[in-house]
A and B are shown apart, each in its own frame.
Chain A
Amino acid sequence: MSKPRPDGITPSQTVGPYFKYGLTPNGEYAWNDAFTSNLLTSDTSGERIRVEGTVYDGDGDVIADCILEIWQADAQGHFSDPQDAHAPPNSPFNGFGRCDTDKSGGYVFDTIKPGVVPDADGKPQAPHILLAVFARGMLLHLYTRIYFDDEAANTSDSVLALVSSDRRATLIAKRKAGTNNVYTFDVHLQGDNETVFFDV
């Protein structure tokens, strides 16, 4: 069987409304989860945090059939991927998580605050988590970034600097009052509070 010579990439199609039993069954179907929304293991080092929020459509209605994926560095700023030359082998922190939204459009990730990763010029970026958003009605997933409101490095981050100041807040998770490790990050696919998405 020979490999073809590609004439372009395979186009994206929507994840649709019925992905749950295949991608995020979570005990509700006769299938097991490849990934969960809890990235922590007993030996994960770093500041343990929770990132939670709600996903909204252009009418301001919650999206209950959304699937979110995150990708991030460990607390030392290393990715659990051999393509990151600095990554330690067999890192106990995998850096990838998946969560579907519940009936209220809500999601929760338990993870650690990522360390500092260089930007395209080698300058330090502010700590951030990549977020991919998939849902029925979305023919191609969207990418955004989760920053943190208690990081002074946000003011010198080269990606945040590309975003107009009136929209920058949509990328910054806010520490929840009365907690020291829970951050809120809502996603608005469209509308007045529309989250900034990146063309990557």
Chain B
Amino acid sequence: MTLIYPVASNSAHPARLSPAYRSSIKRTPSKPLIPIRHTLSELTGPVYGHETVRKHDNDLTIQSKGEPLGERIIVHGYILDEDGRAVPNTLVELWQANACGRYIHVVDQHPAPLDPNFTGAGRTQSDAAGYYKFITIKPGAYPWGNHHNAWRPAHIHFSVFGHSFISRLVTQMYFPGDPLFPFDPIFNSVTDGKARARMISSFDLENTEPEWALCYRFDIVLRGRNATPMESK
């Protein structure tokens, strides 16, 4: 099946220059991007062998000798294209802060404790139906230096590939009802409310496991449409 990648779909993305997010000011091109017609270079993308993902890489709670502290959660959903078709066998990577809002990264100096039993990195591959699942710890909010009293809403960083190099997506998954939403320039860099809502996971009681872990549902929609749609009117 041949997919096409309408550039108009990119309007859901943030404006590259979002001055409220200070770091964007010197890291955004000042000249317009040049539109090109997609060639095979843009329309193809990497395929992974089974060696890329190991069996338990999607469970961030069993990577160390002991169990990490915090609220154990399940994060799952489908990777889909714009027509709602499954994106099978695609790589999904995630990284996140621990329950206290501290990253293991050496540059993170937030005075909250590190958890010796939590690295915060995981990966998996979507199955034939586009389904993926992680087990992890709910990350905490953390402060950053963008403006006075700036705090990031709790989030999990996601990296997904899809069918082509131009369906590549790096994003952040948020949690429903976070009181920090109105104050976060990164979240609000997406100006369309419906598009913003697609970055927020939903609480999934049906798949919450009794006596064990709450579940959040996060579906990810990548670029890509069928070149020959069924409806022809």
Chain B binds chain A? yes
A41 at the interface (CB under 8 A from B): no
Interface of A is mostly: loop
CA gap between A72 and B44 in the complex, in Å: 9
Within 70-116 of B, Cβ neighbours of A (below 8 Å) are at 78, 80-84, 86, 91, 93-95, 97, 103-108
Q: Which residues of B contact A120 (CB under 8 A)?
A: 37-39
Chain A interface residue number, banded: 35 or more
A11 at the interface (CB under 8 A from B): yes
Within 6-24 of A, Cβ neighbours of B (below 8 Å) are at 6-23
Chain B interface residue number, banded: 35 or more
Interface of B is mostly: loop
Q: Is the CB–CB distance between B18 and A18 below 8 Å?
A: no
With A9-B9, A118-B40 in contact, do A94 and B46 touch (Cβ < 8 Å)? Answer: yes
* A-contact bits for B173-213, CB 8 A (1 contact / 0 none): 00000000000001101100011101100000011000000
CA gap between A152 and B7 in the complex, in Å: 31
Q: Is the CB–CB distance between B221 and A200 below 8 Å?
A: no
With A10-B222, A139-B15 in contact, do A34 and B189 touch (Cβ < 8 Å)? Answer: no
CA gap between A7 and B194 in the complex, in Å: 8
Q: Is the CB–CB distance between B39 and A119 below 8 Å?
A: yes
Q: Is the CB–CB distance between A191 and B30 below 8 Å?
A: yes
Within 22-77 of A, Cβ neighbours of B (below 8 Å) are at 22-23, 25, 28-31, 34, 57-59, 61, 63, 65, 69, 71-73
* B-contact bits for A130-154, CB 8 A (1 contact / 0 none): 1010111111111101000000000
Contact of B171 among A1, A10, A58 (CB under 8 A): A10
Q: List 8 additional contacts besides A13-B170, A69-B168; criterion CB under 8 Å.
A: A7-B194, A9-B10, A14-B21, A23-B95, A30-B119, A119-B37, A139-B189, A159-B39
**Subset of 10 A-B contacts with CB under 8 Å:** A11-B199, A13-B172, A25-B121, A34-B91, A81-B44, A83-B43, A138-B24, A139-B24, A198-B35, A200-B7
